[in-house]
Amino acid sequence: MADHAVSLPAGTGSIGLEASGPRGPKPRHVFSRRNIFLYGTLIVVALYYLLPLYVMVVTSLKGMPEIRLGNIFSPPLEITFEPWVKAWSSACTGLNCDGLSRGFWNSVRITVPSVILSIAIASVNGYALANWRFKGADTFFVILIVGAFIPYQVMIYPIVIILREVGLYGSLSGLVIVHSIFGMPILTLLFRNYFSSMPEELFRAARVDGAGFWGIYFRIMLPMSLPIFVVAIILQVTGIWNDFLFGVVYTRPDTYPMTVQLNNIVNSVQGVKEYNVNMAATILTGLVPLVVYFVSGKLFVRGIAAGAVKG
Amino acid sequence: MSKSERPNQLFRNLNAKVASIPMVLTALVIFVGGSAWTVLYSFTNSKLLPRLNFVGLDQYYRLWSTPRWLVSIENLLVYGVLSLVFSLVIGFLLAALLDQKIRFEDTFRTIFLYPFALSFIVTGLVWQWLLNPEFGIQGVVRGLGWESFNFDPLYNSDIVIYGILIAALWQGTGLIMCLMLAGLRGIDEDIWKAARVDGIPTLKTYLFIIIPMMRPVFITALVIIAAGIVKVYDLVVAQTSGGPGIASEVPAKYVYDYMFFAQNLGQGFAASTMMLLSVVVVIVPWAYLEFGGKKRG
């Protein structure tokens, strides 16, 4: 009602007010119809987005008898951490029964070197593209960017052959190389755009002072571009940790990353389904990227925006 | 020609060239070479090992007469069109809601975007549990007294692809929302003022002024969603393993299964070439507009 009373004279008298009045939005009533609609919608949608996380946590804290009787949305009557312990140390994948811990450490051993290697390559590469352009560089860059859209399935098998030829097929090093290759397009784009946006005079001054390719990179570019390195690390840690396809293709069962092992635990056909253990295992696998996401906050968003919109 | 004028052309800027070796190798060997290799071998009858024994288009004839491939393509089309439309619409609506100078904007954005940090495997497994007919949403609603309530997409081959779509939208709309929000923020405040002065209703302003101005953002979002659609694989593996039966198979899974389980490489190569072709149809016009048309600094 209050809304009506305010908006009625607006058609006649407010134009002059708008032009000369104070800047900023019009103060509004807290419980206007607009606000109720706006916040109501947002809260309902937010609940929908939070529901799966809530159900995951709640289920993982219940015992199996309670799950069979109760409702997946109800909070646990008796909190038990046994499913978490079992998921971590003794859940079975069909091949072995030592839980997700093996996959967790495999994922760590895959993610850390992959992140370092891919960022090292791409940052130097982006720097060369931004400041030391040579003939033909842009052609390769365009191939690289367009290549990012080729479905991985097209290139999987040739890479298997190459890795087999050099004796790295099935090893963690092979997978690290694969991650570095497929991380290259987006990261190179990210770094190239960032370095291009830095003032040209800086680069010129360093050259006049006699600094060379690596000198400028390590002494000037690197210290000045820490934010973009953080963005790249966030992007790569989440991306590589969450990978499934490359893990399943390029590693053997004893070196499977966490996602592959999780899928094997939950979707294994043998035995009785233990939903609480499955959900605990699922949360454990999602924990690393979730922590990265919540800790990094705005930088995560910035990474996405920088990678996607600027392109 | 230029070589005779400047004999040391090759060694100019040597460090930059050395630094670009990984990029050049990736672009030429993996992206161009790998794709060409796969396309070439898709015309052979390779089984367990790749062999250059050409059989013309045989693999493609076989591919297009395999029911599993046809189901995969149909699923991809349904999933693709719906996820494109819903991602854009939901993403834009959420962004428009968040753009109303509301309080707790950061909180809401954090909530909408967090699923995007999770892997498709985690997403698929959570929704497998939520859509479990015995204990999940269907079970709960029936427990409340609505005995005939039916919602079991993962066990009904007619609607299984919608079950996967729900999970995919939950995971991916946050990203689109973020892109759209960045786009909305990039629009000059004066445009809104001008529209208000002219008395154009908010809805019309969005439809006829703001959205056309956000064309680049929409195209970026479109390309990102489209590239993701063709690649969809993990989600299906985790959520349904292609079941019930073959009802939720997708092309990427067909490729993987034929290459690494059925030991029928030729089929796998032919199927992946078809995937490549579908991407080319989408990407080439976009890449031409984005990179070929104008020179950028």
By the CB < 8 Å criterion, does B222 face chain A? no
**Are B135 and A51 a contacting pair at CB < 8 A?**
no
By the CB < 8 Å criterion, does B287 face chain A? yes
Amino acid B56: pLDDT: 86
Amino acid A126: pLDDT: 92
Confidence of residue A150 (pLDDT cuts 50, 70, 90): confident
Q: Is the pLDDT of residue A104 over 90?
A: yes
**Are A308 and B220 a contacting pair at CB < 8 A?**
yes
Amino acid A83: pLDDT: 87
Q: Is the pLDDT of residue A114 over 90?
A: yes
Distances, alpha carbon A107 to alpha carbons A42, A56, A100, in Å: 36, 22, 10
Question: Is B54 in a helix, a strand, or coil?
Answer: strand
For domain A101-308, the CATH class is: mainly alpha
Residue-wise pLDDT for B134-171, tens only, equals 888 888 888 888 888 888 888 888 889 999 999 999 99
**Are A42 and B276 a contacting pair at CB < 8 A?**
no
Find the CB nearest A142 among B100, B234, B291: B291
Higher-pLDDT residue of A14, B147: B147
By the CB < 8 Å criterion, does A250 face chain B? no
Confidence of residue A7 (pLDDT cuts 50, 70, 90): very low
DSSP state at residue B188: -
First to last CA, chain B: 26
Distances, alpha carbon A130 to alpha carbons A122, A191, B252, in Å: 12, 8, 36
Nearest CA to B111 out of A122, A69, A293 is that of A293
- pLDDT above 70 covers what percent of chain B? 93
Find the mean pLDDT for residues B61-80: 93
HEC-encoded secondary structure of chain A: CHHHHHHCCHHHHHHHHHHHCCCCCCCCCCCCHHHHHHHHHHHHHHHHHHHHHHHHHHHHCCCHHHHHHCCCCCCCCCCCCHHHHHHHHCCCCCCCCCCCHHHHHHHHHHHHHHHHHHHHHHHHHHHHHHHCCCCCHHHHHHHHHHHCCCCHHHHHHHHHHHHHHCCCCECHHHHHHHHHHHHHHHHHHHHHHHHHCCCHHHHHHHHHCCCCHHHHHHHHHHHHCHHHHHHHHHHHHHHHHHCCHHHHHHECHHHCCHHHHHHHHHCCCCCCCCHHHHHHHHHHHHHHHHHHHHHHCHHHHHHHHHHHCCC
By the CB < 8 Å criterion, does B46 face chain A? no
By the CB < 8 Å criterion, does A95 face chain B? no
Structural domain includes residue B181 = yes
Burial of residue B23 (CB within 10 Å: 0-12, 13-18, 19+) is buried
Confidence of residue B51 (pLDDT cuts 50, 70, 90): confident
Residue-wise pLDDT for B181-201, tens only, equals 988 988 888 888 888 898 888
- pLDDT above 90 covers what percent of chain A? 35
Q: Is the pLDDT of residue A21 over 70?
A: no
- CATH of residue B81's domain is 1.10.3720.10
Confidence of residue B61 (pLDDT cuts 50, 70, 90): very high
**Are A143 and B34 a contacting pair at CB < 8 A?**
no
Q: Which long-range contacts (CB under 8 A, 24 or more apart) does B135-143 make?
A: B135/A67, B135/A68, B135/A72, B135/A275, B136/A72, B139/A71, B139/A72, B140/A71, B140/A72, B140/A73, B143/A71
- CA dist A31 and B106 (Å) reads 21
How many domains does chain B fold into?
A: 1
Find the CB nearest A147 among B19, B27, B125: B27
Structural domain includes residue B12 = no
Structural domain includes residue B206 = yes
Find the mean pLDDT for residues B24-41: 92
Structural domain includes residue B32 = no
By the CB < 8 Å criterion, does A17 face chain B? no
By the CB < 8 Å criterion, does B200 face chain A? no
Structural domain includes residue B119 = yes
Q: What's the mean per-residue pLDDT of chain A?
A: 83
Q: Is the pLDDT of residue A4 over 80?
A: no
CB A4: neighbour CB atoms within 10 A? Answer: 8
Amino acid A177: pLDDT: 94
Find the mean pLDDT for residues B11-34: 87
Q: Is the pLDDT of residue A309 over 60?
A: no
Structural domain includes residue B20 = no
**Are B114 and A46 a contacting pair at CB < 8 A?**
no
By the CB < 8 Å criterion, does A38 face chain B? yes
By the CB < 8 Å criterion, does B127 face chain A? yes
- A&B contacts, CB < 8 Å: 268
Distances, alpha carbon B99 to alpha carbons A112, B88, B102, B178, B271, in Å: 37, 16, 7, 11, 43
Find the mean pLDDT for residues A225-242: 89
- pLDDT above 90 covers what percent of chain B? 39
Contact A3, A30 (CB under 8 A): no
By the CB < 8 Å criterion, does A249 face chain B? yes
Q: Tell me the residue length of chain A.
A: 311
Q: Is the pLDDT of residue A66 over 90?
A: no
By the CB < 8 Å criterion, does B136 face chain A? yes
Q: Looking at CA atoms only, how far is residue B3 from chain A in angstroms? A: 12
Find the mean pLDDT for residues A154-174: 92
Confidence of residue B127 (pLDDT cuts 50, 70, 90): very high
- CA dist A303 and A234 (Å) reads 8
- CA dist B124 and A238 (Å) reads 17
Q: What's the mean per-residue pLDDT of chain B?
A: 86
Question: Is B214 in a helix, a strand, or coil?
Answer: coil
- CA dist A265 and A273 (Å) reads 10
Amino acid A198: pLDDT: 86
Q: Is the pLDDT of residue A197 over 90?
A: no
Ramachandran angles phi, psi of A251, nearest 5°: -125, 165
Considering only residues 61 to 90 of chain A, which have any Cβ-Cβ distance to chain B shorter than 8 Å?
A: 67-68, 71-73
Torsion angle of alpha carbons A198, A199, A204, A209, nearest 10°?
-80
Q: How many CA atoms lie within 13 A of B126 on its CB side?
A: 28
Amino acid A44: pLDDT: 93
Ramachandran angles phi, psi of B54, nearest 5°: -70, 135
Query: Domain range for residue B168?
Result: 60-292
- CA dist B177 and B217 (Å) reads 11
Q: Is the pLDDT of residue A308 over 80?
A: no
Contact A101, A167 (CB under 8 A): no
By the CB < 8 Å criterion, does B19 face chain A? yes
Amino acid A49: pLDDT: 94
Residues of A in Cβ contact (< 8 Å) with B126 = 52, 55-56, 279, 282
Find the CB nearest A158 among B37, B106, B196: B37
Residues of B in Cβ contact (< 8 Å) with A56 = 126, 129
Find the CB nearest B140 among A72, A128, A146: A72
Q: Is the pLDDT of residue A10 over 70?
A: no
Find the mean pLDDT for residues B269-289: 84
Domain boundaries of chain A, sorted by first residue: 2-80, 101-308
> Tokens at residue A36, please?
């109720």
Confidence of residue B87 (pLDDT cuts 50, 70, 90): very high
Q: Which of A72, A111, A154, A264 to mutate to test the interface with B (most CBs of B within 10 A)?
A: A154
Q: Looking at CA atoms only, how far is residue B69 from chain A in angstroms? A: 15
By the CB < 8 Å criterion, does B22 face chain A? yes
Q: Tokens 């899974």 belong to which residue?
A: B253
Amino acid B15: pLDDT: 83
Amino acid A12: pLDDT: 40
Confidence of residue A1 (pLDDT cuts 50, 70, 90): very low
Structural domain includes residue B9 = no
- CA dist B222 and B220 (Å) reads 5
Amino acid A311: pLDDT: 36
- CA dist A111 and A133 (Å) reads 31
DSSP state at residue B12: T
**Are B233 and A244 a contacting pair at CB < 8 A?**
yes
Amino acid B291: pLDDT: 64
**Are B113 and A300 a contacting pair at CB < 8 A?**
yes
- CA dist A104 and A259 (Å) reads 9
Confidence of residue A26 (pLDDT cuts 50, 70, 90): low
Confidence of residue B268 (pLDDT cuts 50, 70, 90): very high
Contact A216, A132 (CB under 8 A): no
Higher-pLDDT residue of A298, A112: A112
Report which residue type is found at B235. Answer: L
Query: Out of A283-292, B55-64, B219-228, which region has the weakest mean confidence (pLDDT)?
Result: B219-228
Q: Is the pLDDT of residue A94 over 80?
A: no
Residues of B in Cβ contact (< 8 Å) with A181 = 26, 30
